[in-house]
């Protein structure tokens, strides 16, 4: 009873109860993870370590730091390197959030194949 294929003729009361329990566990775990999500800071670097950035899960840029040699290549190159470091920081924050949430879902619903669920969702959208 972990997939999307459901035979209503084979549905038992215990299946419904188990699904309700799993949903309640998942809701509780996700509420716990909300605070942890807010604490995630992704990091990214560029320009051989001369540009570093930090970003929150929601994409907000928290900081950008330039090393002493970051401006050697000129303002256009520096702007590109800053954008690259920020993009990497945002991707890192998203990756960390995905790991955190996947772990919570796997704890709440043991046996759920998240890769299969994601694959099915991607086909829908």
List per-residue pLDDT tens for the chain, 125 residues long: 444 455 556 667 776 777 777 778 778 777 888 888 999 999 999 989 999 999 999 999 999 999 999 999 899 999 999 999 999 999 999 999 999 888 877 877 777 777 777 787 788 76
pTM of the entire structure? 0.71
Contact 92, 53 (CB under 8 A): no
Q: Which CATH number fits domain 13-124: 3.40.1190.20, 3.30.1310.10, 3.40.50.300, 3.30.70.270?
A: 3.30.1310.10
Position 3 scores a pLDDT of 47
Position 4 scores a pLDDT of 46
Position 13 scores a pLDDT of 76
DSSP 39-98: H-EEEEEETTTTEEEEEETTS-EEEEEE-TTTTTT-HHHHHHHHHHHHHHHHHHHHHHHH
């Amino acid at each position: 009873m972990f997939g999307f294929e459901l035979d209503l003729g084979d549905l038992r009361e215990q299946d419904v109860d188990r699904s309700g329990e799993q949903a309640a566990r998942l809701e509780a775990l996700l509420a716990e993870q909300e605070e942890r999500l807010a604490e995630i800071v992704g990091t990214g670097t560029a320009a051989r370590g001369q540009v570093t950035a930090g970003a929150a899960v929601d994409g907000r840029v928290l900081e950008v730091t330039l090393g002493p040699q970051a401006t050697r290549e000129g303002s256009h190159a520096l702007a590109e390197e800053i954008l690259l470091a920020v993009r990497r920081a945002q991707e890192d924050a998203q990756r960390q959030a995905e790991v955190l949430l996947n772990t919570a879902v796997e704890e709440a619903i043991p046996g759920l194949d998240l890769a299969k669920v994601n694959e099915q969702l991607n086909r829908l959208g």
